[in-house]
Amino acid sequence: MMIDVPIPFVAHRIDPPSQTVETSKAEIVDMFTQSYLMRRLEIAADVLYKGKFIRGFCHLYDGQARSISHWSPYDREAVCVGMEAALNKDDAIVTSYRDHCTHLGRGGTPLEVMAELMGRIDGASKGMGGSMHMYKRDAHFFGGNGIVGAQASSDWSPYDRTPIGAGLAFAMQYEKKPNVAVAMYGDGAANQGQLFEALNIAALWDLPLIYVCENNHYGMGTAIAKSAKSPEYFKRGDYVPGLKVDGMDALAVKQAIKFAKEHCVSGKGPIVLEMDTYRYHGHSMSDPGSTYRTRDEITGIRQERDPVERLRKLIVEHELLDTAEIKAIEKAQRKIVDEAVAAGKASPEPPVENLMKNMNQIMDNVVVRGVDSEARTHLTEAYGVK
Amino acid sequence: MMIDVPIPFVAHRIDPPSQTVETSKAEIVDMFTQSYLMRRLEIAADVLYKGKFIRGFCHLYDGQARSISHWSPYDREAVCVGMEAALNKDDAIVTSYRDHCTHLGRGGTPLEVMAELMGRIDGASKGMGGSMHMYKRDAHFFGGNGIVGAQASSDWSPYDRTPIGAGLAFAMQYEKKPNVAVAMYGDGAANQGQLFEALNIAALWDLPLIYVCENNHYGMGTAIAKSAKSPEYFKRGDYVPGLKVDGMDALAVKQAIKFAKEHCVSGKGPIVLEMDTYRYHGHSMSDPGSTYRTRDEITGIRQERDPVERLRKLIVEHELLDTAEIKAIEKAQRKIVDEAVAAGKASPEPPVENLMKNMNQIMDNVVVRGVDSEARTHLTEAYGVK
Amino acid sequence: TMMTVRDALNSAMAEEMERDQKVFIMGEEVGDYQGAYKITKGLIQRFGPERVRDTPITEAGFAGLACGAGFMGLKPVVEFMTFNFAMQAIDHIVNTAAKTLYMSAGTISCPIVFRGPNGAAAGVGAQHSQCFAAWYMSIPGLKVVVPYDAEDARGLMKAAIRDPDPVIFLENELLYGESFPISKEALSPEHVAPLGKALVMRPGSDVTLVSFSKMVGECKKAAEELAKEGIDAEVINLRCLRPLDRDAIAASVRKTNRIVVVEEGWPQAGVGAEIAAMVMEDAFDHLDAPVERITGVDIPMPYAKNLEDLALPKVADIVRVAKRVCYK
Amino acid sequence: TMMTVRDALNSAMAEEMERDQKVFIMGEEVGDYQGAYKITKGLIQRFGPERVRDTPITEAGFAGLACGAGFMGLKPVVEFMTFNFAMQAIDHIVNTAAKTLYMSAGTISCPIVFRGPNGAAAGVGAQHSQCFAAWYMSIPGLKVVVPYDAEDARGLMKAAIRDPDPVIFLENELLYGESFPISKEALSPEHVAPLGKALVMRPGSDVTLVSFSKMVGECKKAAEELAKEGIDAEVINLRCLRPLDRDAIAASVRKTNRIVVVEEGWPQAGVGAEIAAMVMEDAFDHLDAPVERITGVDIPMPYAKNLEDLALPKVADIVRVAKRVCYK
Ligand SMILES: Cc1ncc(C[n+]2csc(CCOP(=O)(O)OP(=O)(O)O)c2C)c(N)n1
Ligand SMILES: Cc1ncc(C[n+]2csc(CCOP(=O)(O)OP(=O)(O)O)c2C)c(N)n1
Ligand SMILES: [Mg+2]
Ligand SMILES: [Mg+2]
């Protein structure tokens, strides 16, 4: 089944892929199912946050507002599901704090996400990492590499994912694997110098590296015009090819990632994808986004472009499922989320002995000091075999 | 008097300046005099280094070779004198370890250079900074901002000058001064991420900042093809205009800097200049430069392009001076250098009390610890008035 | 009167901007957004976007830029959204800001205040809970300020901005919203607190509790607990880690003969280590018990609340250890 | 047999590359140029450019890249031309390499060796003479190795490469060319030295001299001087700062009752501070004199030779202070 994506790709130093995407009923239904699950999961997380089940900075002026914006990826499901449709689990991903969806996309469970958010033992990182530090090693998911917590500032380190991504790509090449590494970052992070350092190395060494810039037009309260002289992120690799993609369209994302992966795996080096996500909602309370257009306009555009709605529309237009079938999917996903929330709440906190676990793998001679001089733990005695 | 520079400027996102440079007999003679002085000073420094008057890493495998290459700017006099011909002393400069010539260009004395190299009190930094840390605050020269010592590795920090330069430019703008800041860096340094960070800010804020990339085609043992995917340094500002300049031609440099300064001061923001310095000599022993062409070729090209020789030729061609007059200049400059060497050698080491001087300007409560607990110096007692 | 630490910092900066036109503010979200923690609230409205500069998220770039501006005689006050991000700029802080005055034989100075929240907040995990106090206090050429209450925050911020050399100003996010009594004197626009002087927050004769920033509050609480048990603790607020007020610490130890140092950071080569070493050097013969350090547990910060609680010192720890050194 | 530290490091890396194909080397000038200090000499010829990677001068970029490669199971050995330049990459070392294993509940590890010369060389001035030992030893999740001689260099480098977690390997440029006797055992390709164990270089009963890296040599010389004056000094080579062998230090103090710690770095919150604090905690009652720290002078490093000499500890300082703690 072939479907044309409405918005054309814009290319830089490369011929763009076709706007006609090969897909199937199963794929579209799966994308819808996945993205609907992601949407519900984020809504549930938001409720949990407000109910103080998830740690955050309630004393902050705008903590809640930030939390909502950080967690509500109303514009991100398309990127996640589109990406996974073109990758396999031997391809590696390193992403930003918005890692819940990525975690699901990589095959993680809703419970792993929910429990991690609440700092519980069933979490993706057993409660040690927190909401923004989920990892899934067996699916080559190297985490929301940054920081944790639904709060204004320390949720994550925009700077440190792209060189890591280059390292993942290096390993693919070193081990001669037919895979790529994907490094995801925001428009705000796109100005960080390390990005340019890593891209130069990746280009010199022809590493199979896909940069994915999720341009939601704001980094915290800063509009891109204030943070980037050249906000054409797909061109920011300069001498590296790039592609601008409608980041609200899962099929466009799939097509772009497929194209990028082929480019990389064929030995042509890195590529930069800009996912335009037309940020419809405020990034935070202080986002002026609502001052320059009416609520109606925003709602209207959202109905047109919302990634989940778009997939639903596709299903309806092409008569892939009937209304009852769609409803059944939605119901099933909501149930999954409800169960994950309940299981997450029921999940115990990590046991006290995990406090000093996993600091070193070889624990010989490692003695961890507690808060005072009398509290000492010999790690081999506590955790290890000699 | 109008003179055409032989090699055209290559421009990026800007119309290049004219190849015809307005100059005068006085200017050319002065450029020759200055650059001849710089050449002789560097040769003298080399001799001093070999005579162990200047500290260095003689135990290194290639210390000497590096020292020579680091100090012998056979390709740099043009950049220095050309630059000064277009700037005034209210414009600011921050440069790399090759700062001797820049120091002279800014009005520093040969003795200041020589004595600093030898770690003596008459040095530009009173012996505290070392060969690569000369400053001249009253001429807005903010140093060879990096490191010291004619040795293989720690002579300098390629990374930290461009943001500093942006800061100098910021101050010009903040104080509404009609001046520019010049930040100089090498082709190896050109890949550092901070460069891109600072350039983005400078471009966003329209700071009067000139990036000068001295492309001598190698960073230590690394040829540009191995360190930069895109070795077109004048284009590396991407969205920022750039100009490629024959860095061996003082008049071309002057024209380019004049052009760049006008661009900046008129409020158009930063610009990137690449000074192509066609590195004729080895950067070090391990430089393969001599393996791919014959000695004769290199000598031939050097005679054609050597910046000092070129200025001499210009004087002869345009009959600005006769042979005797040129000889007289050379003799006078050699004498200046000889005297500076002698005075430098005679200059005492800094007094012991300078050890703890200039760490803080407000010294209240500052007690400096010596090598053991009994050695303590109250700075206000030692140096200050309460 | 009462004042929050946030207002103390904000008013101190505003007054110094008023006083000296060379003072300007830069950092991420300091302008339109009013600061991630609202410390710069209202300043862009009052002083305009020329003097309150929103930067892109490029710490190395803007910290280096601040150094250049400082070289030229401007007085940047640079906000790091948290000091964790300052690691990206630390080369400029150490190699450019701290060392240039010395290297240039006193001709080029770098009058910058680098400020922002430092150390553990709550629920922000391993990458954003680090205390950098010990790192910075080791660097000659810097001054390192660690305010506790509103009085500290105002007086020390004003002193830091007026200091002609680089100052690291380590705040604590969890204190921003706390209200403290503030003296009339400290409210004067001309009041500055001295850099390098510790403050006795509570005199006592049995044991000295030394700390900085948020832990001063915990020590005060511990002192109250201890008083109930008949132990009279002296509480010292260091205020500044470089210069470190060794004399104040040694004088207290000469009186109490016992000392406990409290910090949230990691133990190895921490602030407590320095004070232990320094007390040994200056008052060894007066010690009736070993110097005790109370510190954060020597692990990356866990996220789960129960473990995070265990990773940081609490009042009960201070009480327990203070009793131990008093052999009670 | 005798071996230089350079050859010890070089042969250790070569053997580990031979042993494990996942080990590779990267850094500036490590390949064609053979290393700025020739530590990687011959390796590109032997193992090819795939496994000996010359990088551009972008420390943050290649250190971050190494972290990603480590996550995937490769074992990068990253050369910083000097550790001064590692400040540009320190966020990756601390926030990525050191903390990820913990944050990921043990699922993602980062087996990297970050190596290169650390501390003062000679005549290189303030920006390139800094000792980072105390900074790194404060970071949980890292191991920090500080070899002195060829025996250390070989055994510890091999252990560091085999360790599945990040290791900071602090060398000293001035030792590279020095030859040391090396045991037959240490020459075996299978020999590894334990991380976290100090070594008694010279047993003694009157005073303990503790140090690491180049200063171990100075302590040995000082011990000889002291012997002439009838003082029997025990010399301890720490070898590793994290884990720190507290037991070895405390055991020595229990025997000698006196200790002097020697380092080239700055005093405040330095290695010596930690050891002073730690000795107080573990052996306070055995101390007959305060722990003394000998350190670099608390200033940026001056360039002029006469001042540089004054800025660093010398054998005479060690002798003098050791006598002081022996009350002689
Ligand atoms: C190095 C660093 N500086 C600052 C921050 C604080 N911070 C967290 S998120 C953020 C904005 C990031 O914007 P963008 O990259 O556009 O991501 P978005 O939230 O829009 O997805 C900032 C400044 C940080 N985490 N790390
Ligand atoms: C951050 C940093 N990394 C590495 C070095 C070591 N180093 C000194 S000079 C140099 C080469 C610089 O090359 P380039 O920028 O081309 O300058 P050139 O010597 O050719 O003028 C290197 C790697 C340093 N000083 N600073
Ligand atoms: Mg964004
Ligand atoms: Mg070069």
ipTM of the complex: 0.96
- Contacts of residue D90 in chain C, CB cutoff 8 Å? 87, 90
Q: Which of A219-223, B155-159, B234-238, C13-17 has the lowest mean pLDDT?
A: B155-159
Q: Please name which ligand lies nearest the alpha carbon of A75.
A: 1
pLDDT at residue D157, rounded to an integer: 98
- Contacts of residue B129 in chain D, CB cutoff 8 Å? 125-126, 303
pLDDT (tens digit, 9 = 90+) per residue, B294-332?
666 667 667 778 899 999 999 999 999 999 999 999 999
Whether the predicted pLDDT of D141 surpasses 80: yes
Closest CA to A144 of A173, A107, A176, A101: A101
pLDDT tier, C161 (very low <50, low <70, confident <90, very high otherwise): very high
pLDDT at residue B287, rounded to an integer: 43
pLDDT at residue A61, rounded to an integer: 28
pLDDT at residue C207, rounded to an integer: 98
The answer to whether residue C190 neighbours chain B at the CB level (below 8 Å) is no
- Contacts of residue C84 in chain A, CB cutoff 8 Å? 154, 157
The answer to whether residue C56 neighbours chain A at the CB level (below 8 Å) is yes
Q: How far apart are CA B275 and CA B78, in angstroms?
A: 10
Closest CA to B181 of B159, B164, B205: B164
Residue B163 to residue C69, Cβ atoms within 8 A: no
Task: Give the nearest partner residue to A168 out of D63, D68, D196, using CB atoms.
Answer: D68
Nearest residue in chain B measured CA to CA from C241:
B366
Residue D58 to residue B193, Cβ atoms within 8 A: yes
A277-298 average pLDDT score: 54
pLDDT tier, B50 (very low <50, low <70, confident <90, very high otherwise): confident
pLDDT at residue A131, rounded to an integer: 76
Whether the predicted pLDDT of B153 surpasses 50: no
D1-28 average pLDDT score: 98
A123-130 average pLDDT score: 94
The C-alpha of C324 sits at a distance from chain D's nearest C-alpha, in angstroms, of 13
pLDDT at residue C211, rounded to an integer: 98
pLDDT at residue C124, rounded to an integer: 87
CB of D2 closer than 8 Å to CB of D17: no
pLDDT at residue C258, rounded to an integer: 98
CATH class, B2-346 region: alpha beta
Q: Which of A122-131, A187-196, B285-294 has the lowest mean pLDDT?
A: B285-294
Q: Please name which ligand lies nearest the alpha carbon of B99.
A: 2
Whether the predicted pLDDT of A284 surpasses 50: no
pLDDT (tens digit, 9 = 90+) per residue, B187-208?
999 999 999 999 999 999 999 9
> From ligand 1's centre to the CA of B111, what distance in Å?
50
Q: How far apart are CA C6 and CA D304, in angstroms?
A: 46
Find the farthest-apart pair of alpha carbons in chain A and give their distance in angstroms, rounded.
Answer: 70
pLDDT at residue B101, rounded to an integer: 86
CB of A171 closer than 8 Å to CB of D73: yes
pLDDT at residue B150, rounded to an integer: 23
A282-297 average pLDDT score: 50
Which candidate in D138, D258, D261, D295 is best for mutational testing of the C interface (most C CBs within 10 A)? D138
> From ligand 2's centre to the CA of B151, what distance in Å?
11
pLDDT at residue A384, rounded to an integer: 79
Look at strands C2-4 and B242-246 and give their pairing.
unpaired
**Helix, coil or strand: residue C4:** strand
pLDDT at residue A278, rounded to an integer: 67
pLDDT at residue B278, rounded to an integer: 67
Mean pLDDT (chain D, rounded) = 97
Residues 5-44 of D with CB under 8 A from B: 28-29, 32-34, 36-38
pLDDT (tens digit, 9 = 90+) per residue, B64-100?
333 333 444 456 889 999 999 999 999 999 987 667 8
The C-alpha of C238 sits at a distance from chain A's nearest C-alpha, in angstroms, of 20
Residues 237-276 of C with CB under 8 A from D: 241-242, 244, 265-266, 268-274, 276
pLDDT tier, C294 (very low <50, low <70, confident <90, very high otherwise): very high
pLDDT at residue B301, rounded to an integer: 64
Closest CA to B149 of B123, B126, B117: B117
pLDDT at residue A160, rounded to an integer: 52
Asked if C128 is an active-site residue, the reply is yes
The single residue listed with the structure tokens 């405020």 is A282
pLDDT tier, A65 (very low <50, low <70, confident <90, very high otherwise): very low
The answer to whether residue C141 neighbours chain D at the CB level (below 8 Å) is yes
pLDDT tier, B333 (very low <50, low <70, confident <90, very high otherwise): very high
pLDDT at residue B306, rounded to an integer: 87
Residues of D identified as active-site: 59, 128
CB of D219 closer than 8 Å to CB of D211: yes
Residue C90 to residue D87, Cβ atoms within 8 A: yes
CB of D53 closer than 8 Å to CB of D104: no
Residue D300 to residue C273, Cβ atoms within 8 A: no
pLDDT tier, B54 (very low <50, low <70, confident <90, very high otherwise): confident
pLDDT at residue A157, rounded to an integer: 44
Q: Which residue has the higher pLDDT, A155 or D32?
A: D32
Provide φ and ψ at A272, rounded to 5°. Answer: -115, 120
Q: How far apart are CA B182 and CA B270, in angstroms?
A: 10
A372-379 average pLDDT score: 95
The answer to whether residue A171 neighbours chain D at the CB level (below 8 Å) is yes
The answer to whether residue B239 neighbours chain C at the CB level (below 8 Å) is no
Q: What's the residue count for chain D?
A: 328
To the nearest whole percent, how much of chain A has pLDDT over 70? 83
The answer to whether residue A1 neighbours chain D at the CB level (below 8 Å) is no
Q: How far apart are CA A220 and CA A222, in angstroms?
A: 6
> From ligand 1's centre to the CA of B273, what distance in Å?
32
CB of D291 closer than 8 Å to CB of D261: yes
> From ligand 1's centre to the CA of A282, what distance in Å?
15
Q: Which of A39-53, C147-161, D49-63 has the lowest mean pLDDT?
A: A39-53
Residue A197 to residue D62, Cβ atoms within 8 A: yes
C183-208 average pLDDT score: 97
pLDDT at residue C222, rounded to an integer: 98
pLDDT tier, B154 (very low <50, low <70, confident <90, very high otherwise): very low
Residue B145 to residue C96, Cβ atoms within 8 A: yes
- Contacts of residue B231 in chain D, CB cutoff 8 Å? none
Q: How far apart are CA A194 and CA A157, in angstroms?
A: 12
Residue A200 to residue B191, Cβ atoms within 8 A: yes
Residue A365 to residue D197, Cβ atoms within 8 A: yes
pLDDT at residue B385, rounded to an integer: 61
Q: Which of A59-63, A169-173, D59-63 has the lowest mean pLDDT?
A: A59-63
pLDDT at residue A153, rounded to an integer: 27
> How far does chain B reach from its first CA to its final CA, in angstroms?
59
Ligand 1 site, CB within 6 A: A 96, 146, 153-159, 186-189, 214, 216, 218-220; C 28, 57, 59, 81, 85, 88
Instruction: List the catalytic residue out of C128, C151, C218, C274.
Output: C128
Q: How far apart are CA B208 and CA B270, in angstroms?
A: 6
Whether the predicted pLDDT of A154 surpasses 60: no
pLDDT at residue A143, rounded to an integer: 82
Which chains reach chain C with 3 or more Cβ–Cβ distances below 8 angstroms?
Answer: A, B, D
The C-alpha of C65 sits at a distance from chain D's nearest C-alpha, in angstroms, of 16
pLDDT tier, B49 (very low <50, low <70, confident <90, very high otherwise): confident
The answer to whether residue B162 neighbours chain A at the CB level (below 8 Å) is no
The answer to whether residue A219 neighbours chain C at the CB level (below 8 Å) is yes
Q: Which of B276-290, B296-310, C109-123 has the lowest mean pLDDT?
A: B276-290
> From ligand 2's centre to the CA of B159, what distance in Å?
8
Q: How far apart are CA A283 and CA A220, in angstroms?
A: 6
pLDDT at residue C65, rounded to an integer: 97
Which candidate in D47, D58, D62, D65 is best for mutational testing of the A interface (most A CBs within 10 A)? D65
- Contacts of residue B195 in chain A, CB cutoff 8 Å? 193
Q: Which residue has the higher pLDDT, A48 or A262?
A: A262
C76-85 average pLDDT score: 97
To the nearest whole percent, how much of chain C has pLDDT over 70? 100
- Contacts of residue A352 in chain C, CB cutoff 8 Å? 306-307, 310
Mean pLDDT (chain B, rounded) = 86
Non-local CB neighbours of C256 within 8 Å, separated by 6+ positions: C204, C205, C206, C207, C208, C234
Closest CA to C50 of A385, B173, D173: B173
- Domain positions in chain B are 2-346, 352-385
Q: How far apart are CA B99 and CA B102, in angstroms?
A: 5
pLDDT tier, A64 (very low <50, low <70, confident <90, very high otherwise): very low
Identify the burial level of B177 via C-beta atoms within 10 angstroms of its C-beta, where 0-12 means exposed, 13-18 middle and 19 or more buried. Answer: middle
Q: Which of A161-170, B59-68, C41-50, D301-310 has the lowest mean pLDDT?
A: B59-68
pLDDT at residue A132, rounded to an integer: 74
pLDDT tier, A101 (very low <50, low <70, confident <90, very high otherwise): confident
Residues 261-280 of D with CB under 8 A from B: 267-268
pLDDT tier, B283 (very low <50, low <70, confident <90, very high otherwise): very low
Identify the burial level of A268 via C-beta atoms within 10 angstroms of its C-beta, where 0-12 means exposed, 13-18 middle and 19 or more buried. Answer: middle
Whether the predicted pLDDT of D34 surpasses 60: yes
Atom of ligand 1 nearest to the CA of C88: 1
pLDDT at residue B60, rounded to an integer: 29
> From ligand 3's centre to the CA of A215, what distance in Å?
6
Provide φ and ψ at A169, rounded to 5°. Answer: -65, -40
The C-alpha of D190 sits at a distance from chain B's nearest C-alpha, in angstroms, of 30
Residue A181 to residue D65, Cβ atoms within 8 A: no
CB of D295 closer than 8 Å to CB of D272: yes
pLDDT at residue B149, rounded to an integer: 22
Task: Give the nearest partner residue to D54 out of B129, B151, B222, using CB atoms.
Answer: B222
Whether the predicted pLDDT of C148 surpasses 90: yes
pLDDT tier, B280 (very low <50, low <70, confident <90, very high otherwise): low
Residue D96 to residue A164, Cβ atoms within 8 A: yes
pLDDT at residue A277, rounded to an integer: 87
CB of A379 closer than 8 Å to CB of A368: yes
